Amino acid sequence: MAPQNLGRLRSFIIGMTGAVDRLADDEEALIDAARGHLAALISEDDWLGDAFAKPHPKYYQQYLLHCDPLERFSLVSFVWGPGQRTPIHDHGVWGLVGMLRGAEFSQAYSQRGQALEKGERRRLEPGDIEILRPSLGDIHAVSNAYEDRVSISIHLYGANIGAVRRRVFDPQTGAEKPFVSGYASNVVPNLWG
């Protein structure tokens, strides 16, 4: 991989901090701005440090890259080992998923009474962005599209996502359980290093 271009991550965080300052009352406009900043961030795979790209043999990893001090947004690298997948879950806040390396599937679901109904299944390739908004239905399950290699997506959320009380769903019964994801590591990239 090319040398680590932290300037790209720094520019993203500066841009997003300005956007949440300016557009706090307009979610639509904020998501629009966020999409532009995320598109620039994932346009090149030259900035993510190895410590935040490391797969775990058993579990997909969620490395915090930055959390706004006022918890208005957070940025997380999701590292999918071969064949790894999430349970069916929601987010509770807006989110954008940008594909950086490899590919993933996002299988949408909607609630019909107690049960879950399958919706669209989308494949994300590097540079693609999926937008999740609770007001439009934000239940899905994500999986690595590859059984033999690591994939990495960069997720941007409208809160400190590791601390948000969310839900996971049983695929058979649709039964809900609360969960809080946390993060996989205790360090974040040194933007000024």
Contact 111, 139 (CB under 8 A): yes
**181 closest CA partner among 95, 104, 107:** 95
**89 assigned ligand-binding residue:** yes
Pairing between strand 115-124 and 88-89?
A: unpaired
Eight-class DSSP state of 83: T
Tokens read off for 126: 């590097």
**66 assigned ligand-binding residue:** no
Pairing between strand 61-67 and 74-80?
A: antiparallel
**91 assigned ligand-binding residue:** yes
**73 closest CA partner among 158, 181, 165:** 158
**63 closest CA partner among 180, 125, 152:** 152
Binding-site residues for Fe cation, in ranges, read 89, 91, 140
Q: Which residues are annotated as part of the binding site?
A: 89, 91, 140
